[in-house]
Structure 1
Amino acid sequence: MILTNTLNPSIDISYQVESLEIGAVHRPTQMIKNAGGKGINVTKVLNDLGADVTATGYLGGANGQWIQTQLEQRNIQLQFIDIEGNTRQCIAINDGEHQTEILQAGPEISEASQALYLKQLTDIAHQYKVVTISGSTPKLINQSKTAYMIKILNTLTNSYNIVDIDGQSLKGILGQCAHIHAIKPNQSEFEDLVHQKKLSHQDIIKILKTNQLFKEVDVFVTLGSEGAIIKLKQSIYKATLPNINAVNPVGSGDATVAGIAYSVEHDLDPVTTIQTALACGTSNAMQAATGKIIQQEVDDLIKKVGVEKLG
């Protein structure tokens, strides 16, 4: 079984407009409303894959109830903590050339809710083979985000834990906590982690081989349409993707995390794990909605993801 954690969920609203002009009135040609937040995207993709997945995190207010209803309609098991504040909304406006995003910070999480969440994790985490933690950390009353994330990970001692959080938070916990088994930074996030910019593919490979920060961690560095460089079970791999007609790449990283989690749950070999993860990310990019894949598409794409073992 797989447990997903979304500490700062959102209702994601995407507007398609012909052009975007500050100060003008716009009438969208399309509007899409989704239950979102990175961990919820992971959850939806795992559900599309037929995985036995449970979603947890924080939900509150009318927005939280709407998200809960959307997930219940998919028959996803839920273990969310109910909070006093209203779950946030995030808005994306796409004019065909650029995407403009307005991201609410989200509600504050009280000390009581923080404690309840940690207790729940302590009680249920042993049931799950794989646990994912994704997305931004909400505002915490009387608690640092780094310290809280370490507390969360310290409850997850029996599972394979995949962490996909913002670069600053990841930087604060990587190396301080033994319970991180895999991370999935994109190239920019990876560069932030190692305090270097404009890394070539060879630079990334060298760092993954030599940097002690990544010694005990599986690392999936996603490179957009260029594929990925992966350190998995102490070996380095380079993966390439097939050419596709991308519709909306938002959420592809989350779909990749779902593919990793699914592969670990099913004890797939390293090459098939990489192919499955990247096929999920690619299928997501071919859909208008975020956190959405098509199983038949994934099955076809797996055969087209190239994987080379580099050592």
Structure 2
Amino acid sequence: MKIITVTVNPALDLTVYTDSLRVGDVHAVSFIRKDSGGKGINVSKVLHRLGVSTIATGFLGGSVGHWIRSDLSRQSIQHRFLEIDGETRTNVKIITPTEETQLNGTGGLITNHDLDRLIEQLHSLVQPGDAVVIAGSIPGDADYTMYRTIIESFGKADERSIFIALDTSGQALTEAVQARPNFVKPNVEELEQWWGSPLRLESEIAHAARELRSQGGEIVCVSMGDKGTLLVTSEGLYRAIPPVITPKSTIGAGDSIVAGFVSQFHKNRKPHEALVYATACGTATVMHAGSEVCTKEEAEAILPQIQLHVMEGEER
């Protein structure tokens, strides 16, 4: 069994630390961190650290794309990215003692021919019993039905021999969920965007998550930051609550949740068991600076501190 991750809009993540940030001023930088990024790539990083076989694929271009390939090779992460015209984007995150500011690039152009190439490659990589994680944004000029097209290329949901996980937002989420992925993981903000109004109460979040599941997601997991994670399945509603910690960076936390859940569920763990492990992975990642992700040892050290609340249904 292996898990293939798809990142159509990767990034070079630059994390810049400074004492303060004022528009128009000159600032001294205390530290700069440079990481290969993009949600699918982050999922592969976590899976690799958890000891799970993974291959990262998607699109890369230009000198930034070359750097990301070299960085993944340095970390011994298998990758099969396709080359496209244009330059892979750069994201900048500015961190001060009191706040974080993000400046995200747009990414290179993806054509219909590029999408056909990606689908062909995926079908050559994926074998029965594997999992595919489709994660991250779609570049602004690309077709927002791209993820739906990829999922539908593997056939109807009840006829697939693979597990498909989805982590995206906006129109891409609205379209792709109709192709019935097995697992969908929005955060609260992404769920609010899909729902069309604020979700302030846990009951409201749970209701919206059920509705998202009814649209086609077999399992829906909502990441809620320090409030934990919410899981909706055919068996019930669960919430996993992490211990109180001091976060260093939120980059990659949601991706760690995806990696933790898929890796455990794919090992025939029950959904609520996979949820607890996923929450431990997400919690361990926010204890790292920049785009650094958790290790297996760090996640397992936090695991006993995760509280599972069975809100509806039973533990089985």
Interval of TM-score (by shorter of Structure 1 and Structure 2): over 0.9
Residue 298 of structure 2 is matched in structure 1 by 297
* 2: CA distance, partners of 1:7 / 1:149: 10
1:210 deviates by: 6.3
Residue 144 of structure 1 is matched in structure 2 by 143
Residue 126 of structure 1 aligns to a residue whose secondary structure is coil
8 A Cα contact 2:184 2:217, kept in partner: no
1:150 is aligned with what amino acid? R
* 2: CA distance, partners of 1:160 / 1:291: 26
Residue 251 of structure 2 is matched in structure 1 by 250
1:254 is aligned with what amino acid? D
1:246 deviates by: 1.1
CA change 1:208–1:13 in 2 (3 A) is: closer
8 A Cα contact 2:220 2:231, kept in partner: yes
Residue 168 of structure 2 is matched in structure 1 by 165
CA change 1:155–1:209 in 2 (3 A) is: closer
Query: Where do residues 1-311 of structure 1 align in structure 2 (5 Å cutoff)?
Result: 1-127=2-128, 129-140=130-141, 144-146=143-145, 148-156=146-154, 157-174=160-177, 176-178=178-180, 180-209=181-210, 213-214=214-215, 217-311=218-312
TM-score scaled to structure 1, two decimals?
0.92
- The share of aligned pairs that are identical, in percent, is 29
Residue 157 of structure 2 is matched in structure 1 by none
* 2: CA distance, partners of 1:214 / 1:260: 21
* 1: CA distance, partners of 2:120 / 2:292: 28
Unpaired stretches in structure 1, ≥5 consecutive residues: none
Deviates more, 1:285-294 or 1:206-215: 206-215
TM-score scaled to structure 2, two decimals?
0.91
1:171 is aligned with what amino acid? T
CA change 1:300–1:107 in 2 (3 A) is: same
Question: Cα RMSD between the aligned structures?
Answer: 1.8
1:215 deviates by: 6.4
CA change 1:57–1:215 in 2 (3 A) is: closer
Shift >6 Å, 4+ stretches: none
Q: Which deviations, in whole Å up to 9, do the C-alpha atoms of 1:128-177 show, x marking residues without a partner?
A: 5211111111245xx6222x222111123321111001233202332x21
1:272 deviates by: 2.0
